[in-house]
Chains A and B, each alone.
Chain A
C-alpha cells in the first residue's frame, strides 16, 4: 500500500493506492494516527486507487474517525471505486462518501507538506489575573511539625503545586499539583502511581499541605504552539518566558497541556514526616528520599504542567521560585503530571473541558517536580515539549504568605 499526503488549505488530501485489508489495516491506521498527532485533523481520502476494502479495513477507518471525533476532526472519502463505495454503503458508513471532489481541492491550491501549524494566540479575558499565596512553613529537610501543615481546599479557580498529603491519608507528604481544582498527587512511595482528587458535585478536593505555591483566579491568554521547520520542540524556560511576555507581567502562572519531547524531574519517594534527623540526608541516603528521572523520560506522552515564573531579582521574588540555570533571568517552579497521549484539537481549547477529558481518561503515569539539569557533561538539559496549549495569566499583588 502507498499513502501520499498533500496539505491543501486546511485539509490533508490523502491518496491511497492498494488494498485496505487485514494485511494493511494496521499500517494504514498507524499512518493516520501519526497525521493526527502532527496536528492534521481534517482529512479527505482520494480512494480512486483503493482497490479493495475488507471488514478489517472498515474497522481501521472507524478507529480513525473515533480518534478524529475527540479533536473535532473529520474524514471524507471521494473517488471511491464502485466496490469500495458499495461496501461502505452496505455496512452503514455511506455518509463518509462525498459525491464529488470538494471545491477547495479542485483548485489544487497546493501547499508543500509541512508539520507546522501557525502559532495561535487567543485572548481569553484581558482583565483576568491570579493572586498568589505561598506556604513555606516546612523547609527541606526540617523535621515536620504539626504546625507546619495546613488544610487547604482547592475550588475550581485554584492552581497550585507543592508538597502535601490528601486529608485523612496520614502524613504521606508527596509532590502534588492542582489545576482548576483537580488535584494530582504522587504518593511518596517508590512503587506507587500518582493518585488524583476530582471536584465532583459538592466535593472540593482537600489536602494537608506543608509547602505550596497557590494561585487563584483565571488566565488571560491561550497560546497554541507547534513545531516548524526551524524548531522541533519548546523548552520549559522558553514557554515560561513566553508566559511572562504574553501577560506583560513580572510574575505569571501557567498551565500547559502538551506532547512531551522529554521530561527531567524528581519526586519524593518517602514522606518528609518520616524523617528522624534534622539534617539533610547525605549521599547515598538521599536516594531513599528522592527519585530522579535519570534521563529524559515520557517521550511522546502528554504532560499537564502547572508553573509559576517570575523575572529573577524583582519585587516579586519568592522562596519557592528557583532561578533557572539555563535562563538565569527567570525564576520558576513547575510540577508536571504525565498522562498517556491523547491528541488535542486545534484552535481554541477550553481548559475545563480538557481537564475533564484527561482526568476522566486513563490515569496519570507520573508526577514530578521539573528540574533544569545543566550539570557539566552529565546534564540532561531542560524538559521540553513538542506541541500543545499554554494558558497563562498575570500574577498580581504583593505576595500573600501564609
Chain B
C-alpha cells in the first residue's frame, strides 16, 4: 500500500546547522497493516511521516501509495489518499465550528463542496450513528462548537474524521502524546478499534513503548535518519517493552563507541 524507496532529506545543507534527517530510507507497508515508528528525539520519525504527507519535498526517493507515485503531489492533493492525526488535539479541527460542521468537512474531503446546505438531517443522522461508537455522549452535542470539548474528545473526533472516508493510508503523529493518561488510553483503544474494523493501512509515530507493543503489528525503529530495527511477525509478537528499551540502549551504546574506546579495548579486551 505504501512504498518508500531511497528517501533522503537534508535540512540546511552545507551550513553549520545541517541535519541529515532522512538517509536513504526504504519502507514498504502491506495493505491493512499497522506499523509503528519509534526512535530517539531527532531520529527522523516525524520527518518520515511529513515526507509521506507532502509537508516538504525530499531530496531523493520515491513514494507511492496504492501504486501511485505521489512525489509531485501537493499536501492537499495527497489528502485524498491520506488521513492524518496530529499531536496537537486542536490542530485537526476548527474550534468555532460545531462538531457536525467539522465532520461534514471531513466527509467531503477531496470532493467538490458546492454552495449547498452541508449539515443536512441525513448527514446529521449518519454523523450521530458514527460518533456514538466513541462512547463519549457527543452524539447529543453535535451542534456544540468543537472548541468546547476536551483535548481527548477532540482527538477522538479528529481520528474519526481522518478515517471517515477510509483513507488508503492513515498517518498518526504522536496523536496521544498531548493527552492526559486516561484520554490517551481511550484514544489509543479507539485507534486500534478503527484501524482493525476498517482494515486501514496505518503508520503511527509514538514515544510510548507500551503503545508500540500493544497497538501495531509491526515496529520500526529509527535512529539518525535511518531504520535500524524492524520487528515483524514472530519477532513482533515476542518482543516486550524491556526488549525495546534494550534495543534503544544498544543503538545509543554504538554512538558512544568512538575511536578512544577502540584504543581502550585494543589494550584491555584480550
Contacts and interface: CB of A to CB of B under 8 A. Distances in A.
B257 A292 contact: yes
A interface majority secondary structure: loop
Given A211-B270, A320-B270, A322-B270, A294 B265 contact: no
B250 A333 contact: no
Contacts of B261: 292, 375
A156 interface: no
Given A190-B250, A293-B253, A319-B270, A286 B260 contact: no
Given A140-B270, A320-B270, A322-B270, A295 B265 contact: no
B65 to A, nearest CB: 32
Contacts of B254: 287, 291
B270 A290 contact: no
Interface in B223-257: 246-247, 250, 252-257
A371 B257 contact: no
Interface string A129-166: 00000000000100000000000000000000000000
A371 B269 contact: yes
B264 A373 contact: yes
A286 B270 contact: no
Interface string A317-359: 0011010000000000100000000000000000000000000
Interface string A228-263: 000000000000000000000000000000000000
B180 interface: no
A266 interface: yes
A284 B255 CA distance: 10
A369 B264 contact: no
A333 to B, nearest CB: 7
A16 B269 CA distance: 52
A140 B252 CA distance: 25
Contacts of A277: none
B250 to A, nearest CB: 6
B264 A333 contact: no
Contacts of A290: 257, 265, 269
Q: Chain B interface residue count: which class?
A: 20 to 34
Interface string A8-29: 0000000000000000000000
A371 B256 contact: no
A378 interface: yes
A299 to B, nearest CB: 13
Q: Chain A interface residue count: which class?
A: 20 to 34
Contacts of B256: 292, 294-295
B212 to A, nearest CB: 17
Contacts of A211: 270
B259 interface: yes
A280 interface: yes
B252 A286 contact: no
A371 B262 contact: no
Given A287-B257, A294-B256, A375-B260, A280 B268 contact: no
Nearest to A369: B269
B16 interface: no
B129 interface: no
A333 B253 contact: no
Contacts of A284: 257
A319 B253 CA distance: 29
B262 A286 contact: yes
A208 interface: no
Nearest to A269: B250
Given A292-B256, A292-B257, A283 B262 contact: yes
B115 interface: no
B267 interface: yes
A321 to B, nearest CB: 9
B217 to A, nearest CB: 20
Most buried by B among A140, A283, A294: A294
Contacts of A293: 253
A369 B268 CA distance: 9
Contacts of A373: 264
A216 interface: no
Contact of A371 (B253, B258, B264): B264
B260 A378 contact: yes
A206 interface: no
A40 interface: no
Contacts of B259: 283
A7 to B, nearest CB: 37
A371 B265 contact: yes
A372 B268 contact: yes
Contacts of B255: 294
A291 B253 contact: yes
A292 B265 contact: yes
B265 A286 contact: yes
B253 A294 contact: yes
Contacts of A333: 270
A190 B250 CA distance: 8
B196 to A, nearest CB: 29
16 contacts: A191-B246, A266-B269, A280-B266, A286-B265, A290-B269, A292-B253, A292-B256, A294-B252, A294-B253, A294-B255, A294-B256, A294-B257, A295-B256, A319-B270, A371-B269, A375-B264
Interface of A: 140, 190-191, 211, 266, 280, 283-284, 286-287, 290-295, 319-320, 322, 333, 369, 371-373, 375, 378
Interface of B: 246-247, 250, 252-262, 264-270
3 nearest A-B residue pairs (beta carbon)? A294-B256, A294-B253, A287-B257
